Protein backbone atom coordinates (compact mmCIF):
# COMPACT_ATOMS: atom_id res chain seq x y z
CA UNK A 1 0.00 0.00 0.00
CA UNK A 2 2.91 2.33 0.77
CA UNK A 3 4.26 1.86 -2.77
CA UNK A 4 0.90 2.92 -4.26
CA UNK A 5 0.76 6.01 -2.03
CA UNK A 6 4.37 6.88 -2.89
CA UNK A 7 3.62 6.52 -6.61
CA UNK A 8 0.46 8.60 -6.26
CA UNK A 9 2.43 11.42 -4.63
CA UNK A 10 4.97 11.27 -7.46
CA UNK A 11 2.09 11.16 -9.94
CA UNK A 12 0.70 14.36 -8.43
CA UNK A 13 4.11 16.02 -8.74
CA UNK A 14 4.42 14.98 -12.37
CA UNK A 15 0.82 16.07 -12.90
CA UNK A 16 1.69 19.51 -11.58
CA UNK A 17 4.38 19.88 -14.22
CA UNK A 18 1.99 18.59 -16.89
CA UNK A 19 -0.68 20.98 -15.64
CA UNK A 20 1.62 23.93 -16.36
CA UNK A 21 1.61 22.87 -20.01
CA UNK A 22 -2.11 22.10 -20.06
CA UNK A 23 -3.24 25.26 -18.28
CA UNK A 24 -0.72 27.40 -20.17
CA UNK A 25 -2.21 26.34 -23.48
CA UNK A 26 -5.76 26.68 -22.10
CA UNK A 27 -5.24 30.21 -20.78
CA UNK A 28 -3.27 31.29 -23.84
CA UNK A 29 -5.94 30.10 -26.24
CA UNK A 30 -8.94 31.39 -24.26
CA UNK A 31 -7.65 34.64 -22.76
CA UNK A 32 -5.04 35.43 -25.37
CA UNK A 33 -6.80 34.40 -28.56
CA UNK A 34 -10.47 34.17 -27.58
CA UNK A 35 -10.89 30.48 -28.43
CA UNK A 36 -13.59 28.20 -27.00
CA UNK A 37 -12.69 26.99 -23.46
CA UNK A 38 -13.75 23.37 -24.02
CA UNK A 39 -11.68 22.89 -27.18
CA UNK A 40 -8.80 24.86 -25.69
CA UNK A 41 -8.83 22.55 -22.70
CA UNK A 42 -8.74 19.52 -24.99
CA UNK A 43 -5.74 20.98 -26.83
CA UNK A 44 -4.00 21.69 -23.53
CA UNK A 45 -4.76 18.16 -22.35
CA UNK A 46 -2.85 16.75 -25.32
CA UNK A 47 0.17 18.91 -24.45
CA UNK A 48 -0.12 17.84 -20.81
CA UNK A 49 -0.33 14.16 -21.82
CA UNK A 50 2.93 14.34 -23.77
CA UNK A 51 4.71 15.79 -20.75
CA UNK A 52 2.95 13.32 -18.50
CA UNK A 53 4.08 10.25 -20.44
CA UNK A 54 7.74 11.17 -20.42
CA UNK A 55 7.83 12.00 -16.72
CA UNK A 56 5.66 9.11 -15.54
CA UNK A 57 7.66 6.60 -17.57
CA UNK A 58 10.94 7.66 -15.96
CA UNK A 59 10.03 9.13 -12.61
CA UNK A 60 6.71 7.90 -11.21
CA UNK A 61 6.66 4.30 -12.39
CA UNK A 62 10.37 3.94 -13.25
CA UNK A 63 9.46 1.73 -16.17
CA UNK A 64 12.02 -0.42 -17.92
CA UNK A 65 9.47 -1.71 -20.43
CA UNK A 66 9.79 -0.99 -24.12
CA UNK A 67 8.13 2.24 -25.27
CA UNK A 68 6.42 0.18 -27.98
CA UNK A 69 4.47 -1.57 -25.22
CA UNK A 70 3.77 1.37 -22.92
CA UNK A 71 3.15 4.26 -25.32
CA UNK A 72 0.06 2.77 -26.96
CA UNK A 73 -1.37 1.79 -23.58
CA UNK A 74 -0.70 5.29 -22.31
CA UNK A 75 -2.40 6.67 -25.42
CA UNK A 76 -5.54 4.62 -24.71
CA UNK A 77 -5.69 5.88 -21.12
CA UNK A 78 -4.95 9.44 -22.29
CA UNK A 79 -7.62 9.39 -25.00
CA UNK A 80 -10.21 8.15 -22.51
CA UNK A 81 -8.98 10.82 -20.08
CA UNK A 82 -9.29 13.41 -22.87
CA UNK A 83 -12.90 12.32 -23.35
CA UNK A 84 -13.56 12.69 -19.62
CA UNK A 85 -11.78 16.06 -19.58
CA UNK A 86 -13.80 17.34 -22.53
CA UNK A 87 -17.10 16.08 -21.09
CA UNK A 88 -16.51 17.57 -17.64
CA UNK A 89 -15.33 20.87 -19.14
CA UNK A 90 -18.44 21.01 -21.33
CA UNK A 91 -20.59 20.23 -18.29
CA UNK A 92 -18.87 22.87 -16.16
CA UNK A 93 -18.69 25.66 -18.74
CA UNK A 94 -21.85 25.08 -20.79
CA UNK A 95 -24.32 23.45 -18.41
CA UNK A 96 -23.23 24.83 -15.03
CA UNK A 97 -21.93 28.18 -16.39
CA UNK A 98 -18.72 27.99 -14.34
CA UNK A 99 -15.70 30.14 -15.18
CA UNK A 100 -13.49 28.04 -17.44
CA UNK A 101 -10.60 27.92 -14.95
CA UNK A 102 -12.83 26.73 -12.11
CA UNK A 103 -14.32 24.12 -14.43
CA UNK A 104 -10.80 23.00 -15.40
CA UNK A 105 -9.65 22.72 -11.78
CA UNK A 106 -12.67 20.56 -10.91
CA UNK A 107 -12.19 18.52 -14.07
CA UNK A 108 -8.51 17.97 -13.29
CA UNK A 109 -9.37 16.70 -9.81
CA UNK A 110 -11.82 14.19 -11.31
CA UNK A 111 -9.59 12.96 -14.13
CA UNK A 112 -6.50 12.50 -11.90
CA UNK A 113 -7.92 9.35 -10.35
CA UNK A 114 -8.76 7.80 -13.73
CA UNK A 115 -5.29 8.55 -15.07
CA UNK A 116 -3.41 7.24 -12.05
CA UNK A 117 -5.43 4.04 -11.84
CA UNK A 118 -5.22 3.28 -15.56
CA UNK A 119 -1.51 3.99 -15.77
CA UNK A 120 -0.60 2.21 -12.55
CA UNK A 121 -2.55 -0.97 -13.20
CA UNK A 122 -2.30 -1.22 -17.00
CA UNK A 123 0.13 1.08 -18.81
CA UNK A 124 3.15 0.64 -16.55
CA UNK A 125 2.13 -2.58 -14.80
CA UNK A 126 5.04 -4.87 -14.13
CA UNK A 127 4.19 -8.38 -15.36
CA UNK A 128 4.07 -11.02 -12.65
CA UNK A 129 7.06 -13.34 -12.50
CA UNK A 130 6.35 -16.82 -13.86
Q: What percentage of the chain exceeds 70 in pLDDT?
A: 98
Residue 50 pLDDT > 80: yes
DSSP label of 61: S
Count of other CB atoms within 10 angstroms of residue 40: 23
* CA-based torsion, 54, 56, 62, 65: positive or negative: negative
Residue 93 pLDDT > 80: yes
The pTM for the full model equals 0.87
Confidence of residue 125 (pLDDT cuts 50, 70, 90): confident
Residue 90 pLDDT > 70: yes
When the pLDDT of each residue in the chain is averaged and rounded to a whole number, the result is: 94
Q: Which letter, b or e, does each residue of 7-32 get, where b requires 16 or more Cβ atoms within 10 Å of its Cβ?
A: bbebbeebbeebbebbbebbbebbee
Amino acid sequence: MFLVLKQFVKFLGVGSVSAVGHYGVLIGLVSGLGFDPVMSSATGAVVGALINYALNYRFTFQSSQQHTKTVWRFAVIAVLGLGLNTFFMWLGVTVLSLHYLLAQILTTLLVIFWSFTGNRWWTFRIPAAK
